[in-house]
Amino acid sequence: MKKKTTLIAPSLLASNFLELGKEVDMLNNSEADWLHLDVMDGRFVPNISFGLPVISHIKKAARKICDVHLMIEEPERYAEDFKKAGADILTVHYEACTHLHRNIQQIKNLGMQAGVALNPHTPVHLLENVIKDVDLVLIMSVNPGFGGQHFISQSLIKIKQLRALIEEHQAHALIEVDGGITTDNAAEIIAAGADVLVAGSSVFNAPDPAAAIKALKLA
């Protein structure tokens, strides 16, 4: 049987912001599938990254899908702005949404693909009533807010549980895994059921980022 292709979504959080245009060009010319864009508000997570104007500029240069990971409170206030800025996929955190079902519909009605992210402590079964509505579930394999952390091994169990939930409900959601992914652990994350790997530090801190992306793709 042919091995399924894993999608690679490098996180620009770890890139050189002074050279953002060159970094996007490198990704355009690499085997990366998506550009992962981490938005942090200093409230939902204890860090502030970048926001709408930066994403608008990235979108103009990018020839790949813009996968926006919102680590912000009240994401519904900004969904329309992220659509205008160029988000193709908009992922909100389960923990940030009181009205998650409504938030998912809002994202889809705006013409984007809708994702839901789970913090490391949030169980997968809490998604059973929305799993058929979402295009993507993002399993956080580190506590959100910072790049360069170590992969939490319990995430492998959560990926398997999520794969089982998706199959049980005959849902179409992709499983994206984010945090601490390297060429050393990528194969076991894929074997657990991941469809999309996010990688920041292991790509942008590598001597040859395009080669690091290729290596993740081959894992």
Ligand X SMILES: O=C(CO)[C@H](O)[C@H](O)COP(=O)(O)O
By the rule CB under 6 A, 180 interacts with ligand X: yes
6, 24, 27, 36: which one contacts ligand X (CB under 6 A)? 36
Candidate list 8, 13, 55, 118; residue touching ligand X; CB under 6 A: 13
Catalytic residue among 38, 67, 135, 195: 38
Residue 206, exposed/middle/buried by CB under 10 A (0-12, 13-18, 19+)? middle
Is residue 38 a contact residue for ligand X (CB under 6 A)?
A: yes
Q: Which stretch binds Co ion (CB under 5 A): 66-74, 82-90, 106-114, 206-214?
A: 66-74
Our CB check for Co ion shows the closer of 69 and 93 to be 69
Residue 179 interface partner, choices ligand X, Co ion, none, CB cut-off 5-8 Å depending on type: ligand X
Q: Does 41 bind Co ion (CB under 5 A)?
A: no
Work out what residue 148 binds among ligand X, Co ion, none; the CB cut-off runs from 5 to 8 Å by kind: ligand X
Is 178 a residue of the active site?
A: yes
Active site residue 38: yes
According to DSSP, the residues that pair with 118 across neighbouring strands are 139
| Close Cβ partners of 139 (under 8 Å, ≥ 6 residues apart) | 117, 118, 124, 155, 158, 159, 162, 175, 176, 177, 178, 194
Enumerate binding residues for Co ion (CB under 5 A): 38, 69, 178
